[in-house]
Amino acid sequence: MNESPVTALHNRVLAADRIVFFTGAGMSAESGIPTFRDALTGLWERFDATALASPQGYRADPALVWGWYEWRRMKVMQAAPNAGHVAIADFVRNNPTKFVEIITQNVDDLHERAGCTHVTHLHGSILAPRCFACERPANAALIETIPNEPEGGRRLFPPHCDHCNGTFRPGVVWFGESLPQAEFKHASAAAREAEIFIVIGTSGVVEPAASLVRIAKKAGAFIISIDPNETMAELYADAVVRDTAAVALPTFLTACIAP
């Protein structure tokens, strides 16, 4: 009897030794974290995205930029991993002989809070501010905890670095900035070595992160795309699951746990 396409997909994942999960904003949206442009609403909608996410915008109005990112940081701190994050962590824990990597474009720590350890952050972390001048990480004690304001809107002056007296900036990659070199090099190597490359909740248009799908495909990986909407990643996908991460991953990955 021929196996069904779903069973064949499960068996392919079960047989693989090296698996990469590549996650984007859609992965965290189900935890209540607005995607970047979705967050430009309410009191923030009158600002262009580049005014809030570029070195030039920060230099022009550091209190505006710092206040908006502090609001986003509080949203992250108040969020919890969703069923999709938990499903990936369970898959890793229950398949100890497999080499599994998580590469994410998200700046939150929801993968880690769900229990994942091998997580590469391509776009930095909103929870790790650093000095705009000398690049040193911020002392957590200096970072203000702001109240939960529904739409943000509060201007906050960034604290000063105790080393050089520069001001702190969010620890994320802004427009016009390069991805962290070590992280992108590691992610590219993981993509080249993957047997299964699972793309979740990313549009596939933000470069150079989007190039990882092409790298994996060129190296011979089997590409699985999981997203409720059509994405550019599907151009390279061998299988498409048209659903959200929190819905699709628990069912799909539970069937891919080795007996």
Instruction: Find tokens 């474009």 and name the residue.
Output: 105
Provide the pLDDT for residue 152. Answer: 54
Q: What is the pLDDT of residues 66-125, one digit of tens each?
A: 988 888 888 898 899 999 999 999 999 999 999 999 999 999 999 999 999 889 999 999
Residue 83 neighbours by CB distance under 10 Å: 19
DSSP, collapsed to helix, strand or coil, labels residue 75 as helix
pLDDT value at 204 more than 90: no
Looking only at the bridges linking them, the beta strands covering 168-169 and 239-241 are unpaired
Instruction: Find tokens 């970047």 and name the residue.
Output: 36
123 part of the active site: yes
Provide the pLDDT for residue 118. Answer: 87
User: What is the chain's percent helix, strand, coil content, to nearest 5?
Assistant: 40, 15, 45
Same fold, 1-32+81-124+178-259 and 34-78+130-169: no
Token digits for 45?
A: 């909608």
Instruction: Say how many Å lie between the first and final Cα of the chain, rounded.
Output: 22
pLDDT value at 142 more than 80: no
Residues 120 and 187 sit within 8 Å (Cβ to Cβ): yes
Domain boundaries, the chain: 1-32+81-124+178-259, 34-78+130-169
Provide the pLDDT for residue 74. Answer: 86
Kindly report whether the peptide bond that precedes residue 180 is cis, defined as omega within 30 degrees of 0.
no
Amino acid making up residue 24: G
User: Rounded to whole angstroms, how far apart are CA atoms 142 and 20?
Assistant: 36
- How far CA 197 is from CA of 32, 34, 152, 191, 240, in Å, comes to 26, 25, 37, 7, 12
- The secondary structure of 172-209 as a DSSP string is BPPTTPPPPHHHHHHHHHHHHH-SEEEEES--S-STTT
Would you tell me which CATH number, out of the four given (3.30.70.360, 3.30.1600.10, 3.40.50.970, 1.10.3720.10), belongs to the domain 34-78+130-169?
Answer: 3.30.1600.10
Residues 99 and 17 sit within 8 Å (Cβ to Cβ): yes
Contacts of 150 (CB under 8 A, 6+ apart): 42
Closest CA to 143 of 61, 64, 33, 69: 69
Average pLDDT over residues 233-239: 92
Q: What is the pLDDT of residues 186-200, one digit of tens each?
A: 999 999 999 999 999
- How far CA 239 is from CA of 11, 16, 105, 131, in Å, comes to 13, 15, 22, 43
DSSP, collapsed to helix, strand or coil, labels residue 18 as strand
> pLDDT grade, residue 2 (50/70/90)?
very low
Q: What is the pLDDT of residues 210-226, one digit of tens each?
A: 999 999 999 999 999 99
Catalytic residue among 111, 123, 163, 186: 123
In CATH, the number for domain 1-32+81-124+178-259 is 3.40.50.1220
Beta bridge partners of 225: 199, 240
**What is the DSSP code (8-state) at residue 258?**
-
